[in-house]
Amino acid sequence: MTGPHSSTHAPRSPNRPAVLVARAVFPETIERLRRHFEVEDNPADHIFDKATLAAHLAGKAGAFTTGSERIDADVLAENPQLRVVANMAVGYNNIDVPACTARGVLATNTPDVLTETTADFGFALMMAAARRMAESERFLRRGEWTRWAYDMFTGSDVHGATLGILGMGRIGQAIARRGALGFGMRVVYHNRSRLAPEVEASLRARYLDKATLLREADHLVLVLPYSAQSHHAIGAAELALMKPTATLTNVARGGIVDDAALAAALRGKRIAAAALDVFEGEPQVHPDLLAVPNVVLTPHIASATVRTRRAMADLAADNLIAALTGERPPTPVNPEVLAAGGVLPPR
């Protein structure tokens, strides 16, 4: 009889690596992995706490994870046989990459396949905040719309406005293209490293220091990766630099924004509006954000189209299969593990 977090599968073969698929995923992905591995999956989609995750990883050479599974030094220490962690996400702040590297464990992610979908959603969130869509929909649903008024839910224009992008990687550049080429926006950005001149020219983007970016942006979009250095990159001091008419959109990671400080800024109308797909401590949302009207809130769904989620699952599976069959995975996060001869030898 199986436990509550696993599905029935055939007896383990000594010649096939065992892997854990930590969350529910497309059945086709599971079937594909079963052609290569002994698979323990989680069709009930239970969220594993740290101890449960470590227990389910026992005897597994590989793990197919999402952002909800924390692979840290303790989990790795309990599972010295683990060789590969394939994350079904472009972000990997749920994985302690230095700890993985120290133990010769390869980590992989799923970049590129979600770039355009996430950029679509980020732009949609920005527009929803600028045009007060969530506020006006709630107003309508409450039955409060009884007449037209010249100033009813007046927001701010997107076309021709200044789009500020903090973090100018793949997704940031995709958002810049939408703004500059589709909406005639003036694009300014800040990044750890400046883009090549020809890339800036193609995006019609101008590099600014962070403080100037915050002061000039009509609509600020955050797409930088989460790290200890980017924790609370936007807090009370940064929000104080922004225009009172500005909006802030976060499709990056929770923790980049100090959610309590943002709620206070929204409540005090120090900025006009915000749109958030990610939250510090998610799936919990800071209660102050739930209490302010001028914020659009979505549950981490920027990459949520069927085609894109399938592509993410496929790439995570590609990485896991390649790594455990002696091939080079398409998108390693710590390729130095492979350079040092890590993972499994070819069969």
DSSP letters, 274-303, are EEES--TTTTS--HHHHH-SSEEE--S-TT
Told to judge if 300 belongs to the known catalytic residues of this protein, a careful annotator would answer yes
Q: Report the amino acid identity of residue 316.
A: A
Which of 71, 40, 46, 322 lies closest to 314 in space, CA to CA? 322
Told to judge if 215 belongs to the known catalytic residues of this protein, a careful annotator would answer no
Contacts of 49 (CB under 8 A, 6+ apart): none
Beta bridge partners, 297, equal 276
CB of 189 closer than 8 Å to CB of 172: yes
Told to judge if 282 belongs to the known catalytic residues of this protein, a careful annotator would answer yes
Q: Which two tokens stand for residue 27?
A: 């059945």
Write down the catalytic residue from 253, 280, 286, 309.
Answer: 253
Write down the catalytic residue from 78, 116, 200, 282.
Answer: 282
Write down the catalytic residue from 231, 267, 300, 310.
Answer: 300
Contacts of 109 (CB under 8 A, 6+ apart): 87, 89, 90, 91, 92, 331, 333
Residues 303, 273: Cα–Cα separation, whole Å: 23
Question: Catalytic amino acids?
Answer: 253, 282, 300
